Amino acid sequence: METYDTLLPPITPANRRTRPILNPATGGEVGLAPVHDIADLDRAVVTAALVQPAWAALSHQTRSEVLLKAADAIERSSEALARLLSQEQGKPLNGPNARFEVASCATWLRAAATTPLDPEVVVDDGQTRAELHYRPIGVVGAIGPWNWPMLITIWQIGPALRMGNAVVVKPSEYTPLSVLALINVINQELPDGLLTVISGGRDVGARMAEHPAIGKIMFTGSTATGKAIIRSSADTVKRLTLELGGNDAGIVLPDADPKAIAQGLFWGAFINAGQTCAALKRLYVHEDIYDAVCEELTKVAAAMPMGPGLDENNVLGPLQNRAQFDIVDRLVKAAKESGARILLGGNPDYDQPGNFYPTTLVADIDNDNPLVVEEQFGPALPIIKYSTVDEAVAKANGLDVGLGASVWSSDLATARKVASRLEAGTVWINSHGMVNPMIPFGGSKQSGYGLEFGVEGLKALGIPQVING
């Protein structure tokens, strides 16, 4: 069986600094990551700018054919990539986790490669013909997170490459190996220098945001970092796509069936142990069915095994890093101290190896509690009781973020009416967080701006040009 060691690019030169990457489930070493610096970034950008015009000169069809071969390469190495991802990020192999993420990389890359984007005839009245085209930007900088490191990298680089750009990728310092291996596999099919990974620190990310030869930044991460990128990119008037923090609300209407929705609620909140930007992080339940929803959700959550990712039986893993563990722990403690009721979990074993925080459900909690107001980004869900739909909508809309939201109901028409009142980039009905490569995705308010996926995602990686005449 292929091992992930064979997928990682060699660390050169011989005197290159490295740092160990640790398994968040065991604390053991996964591998060594190179420590790149700003000089490495500058060299990568120069190379990317040199090779990009030849790539852009190819037809959409030719570029698509190359990307389809790259998707095939991902599939050939899928098991080794998944095992590396599981050990570095912590997510289990099975369930909506490591194997799922790697398979989705191939799916999303194929979607970016094959989605048509033809010139749009804007006016053709016999006297004037105006067509809208999209030209390559040049060099795109992609800055990714640690929660879905491979898949979000594909979300960034797939449409960028398809549209004729070169890409320089900066992965999270917590999960560089997964991205290094993924890009090494993809580069089996791409021209040299077109797609590069720079495994550096925050200084590298800051330089990318201000770099005069980078025409666009794609960033997924915290709102605070997104704001810093906006400021740093201002002098070069960079194009930006920012998918920032969220604190997604779900509203369960009184006609919902608690037993029927419990599984969907669980995975909406606890996919990747809650470490997902568009996960369900605040659940508002009508008082008529509040106790029943709490009971059914607790049954589902209690049956989900948590442990090291390479154990085929587990579907929940650790928090990826100790800093995130501490955030979740602090917020749950604050909820306990306020008098909230712990339905499940809330009792981590601080002496065990790894960053495991137990699946935690918190009921009878005030809407202004820190666990509700702050994004926990972990396996702890506050459940808030409400009396009227107007009250629930007001509370759901009460924060300055709006990435996603959901409405749960047995009446689709009623659910859609409530959904239209929520301030979020995507509102799901009877599910939460499900994304599709053909459905545009992006946030509102301080959850960022710009769209990814589908035709709109391709357009975001091009410069619009009108040919008039």
pLDDT at residue 228 is higher than 90: yes
Question: Do residue 337 and residue 422 come from a single domain?
Answer: yes
Between strands 166-170 and 195-197, the pairing is: parallel
Closest C-alpha among 398, 204, 208 to residue 284: 398
What pLDDT was estimated at residue 9?
Answer: 87
What pLDDT was estimated at residue 5?
Answer: 78
In a domain, 310, yes or no: yes
What pLDDT was estimated at residue 43?
Answer: 97
**Residue 68 to residues 14, 114, 185, 186, 346, Cα–Cα distance (Å):** 34, 8, 13, 10, 45
What pLDDT was estimated at residue 334?
Answer: 97
Tens digits of residue pLDDT in 109-136: 999 999 999 999 999 999 999 999 999 9
In a domain, 352, yes or no: yes
For the chain, the C-alpha Rg in angstroms (whole number) is 23
In a domain, 401, yes or no: yes
pLDDT at residue 1 is higher than 70: no
What pLDDT was estimated at residue 4?
Answer: 78
Residue 427: pLDDT band with limits 50, 70, 90: very high
What pLDDT was estimated at residue 381?
Answer: 98
Which residue range(s) make up the domain with 31? 4-244+447-468
Cβ-contact 401, 247 below 8 angstroms: yes
**Residue 363 to residues 262, 334, 335, 469, Cα–Cα distance (Å):** 15, 13, 9, 64
Question: Do residue 275 and residue 340 come from a single domain?
Answer: yes
In a domain, 379, yes or no: yes
Question: Do residue 184 and residue 232 come from a single domain?
Answer: yes
Tens digits of residue pLDDT in 166-178: 999 999 999 999 9
Distance CA 100, CA 190 (A): 24
Tens digits of residue pLDDT in 337-386: 999 999 999 999 999 999 999 999 999 999 999 999 999 999 999 999 99
The structure tokens listed for 105 are 């990389």
Closest C-alpha among 230, 177, 219 to residue 35: 177
Tens digits of residue pLDDT in 18-75: 999 999 999 999 999 999 999 999 999 999 999 999 999 999 999 999 999 999 999 9
Question: Do residue 214 and residue 359 come from a single domain?
Answer: no
Mean pLDDT over the full length of the chain = 97
In a domain, 300, yes or no: yes
Question: Do residue 188 and residue 278 come from a single domain?
Answer: no
Distance CA 110, CA 67 (A): 7
Distance CA 20, CA 129 (A): 59
In a domain, 442, yes or no: no
What pLDDT was estimated at residue 12?
Answer: 78
In a domain, 389, yes or no: yes
Question: Do residue 231 and residue 255 come from a single domain?
Answer: no
Distance CA 300, CA 23 (A): 28
Tens digits of residue pLDDT in 240-269: 999 998 999 999 999 999 999 999 999 999
What is the domain-level CATH number for residue 94?
3.40.605.10
Count Cα neighbours of 110 within 13 Å in the Cβ-side half-sphere.
13
Question: pTM value?
Answer: 0.96
Contacts 24+ apart (CB under 8 A), 123-127: none
What pLDDT was estimated at residue 33?
Answer: 96
Per the structure, how many domains does the chain have?
2
What is the domain-level CATH number for residue 400?
3.40.309.10
Distance CA 116, CA 121 (A): 15
Distance CA 228, CA 230 (A): 5
Distance CA 94, CA 110 (A): 23
pLDDT at residue 336 is higher than 70: yes
Question: Do residue 40 and residue 74 come from a single domain?
Answer: yes
What pLDDT was estimated at residue 15?
Answer: 73
Phi, psi of 118 (to 5 degrees): -90, 155
Question: Do residue 233 and residue 280 come from a single domain?
Answer: no
Residue 3: pLDDT band with limits 50, 70, 90: confident
- 359 Cβ neighbours under 8 A, 6+ residues apart: 270, 301, 302, 304, 306, 316, 344, 345, 379
Question: Do residue 220 and residue 97 come from a single domain?
Answer: yes
Question: Do residue 370 and residue 418 come from a single domain?
Answer: yes
Residues marked active site are found at 243, 277
Tens digits of residue pLDDT in 412-422: 999 999 999 99
Other CB atoms within 10 Å distance of the CB of residue 334? 15
Cβ-contact 156, 458 below 8 angstroms: no
Cβ-contact 317, 286 below 8 angstroms: no
Question: Do residue 46 and residue 141 come from a single domain?
Answer: yes
In a domain, 56, yes or no: yes
Q: The tokens 């490569």 sit on which residue? A: 437
Question: Do residue 20 and residue 151 come from a single domain?
Answer: yes
- 416 Cβ neighbours under 8 A, 6+ residues apart: 407, 429
Distance CA 335, CA 316 (A): 23
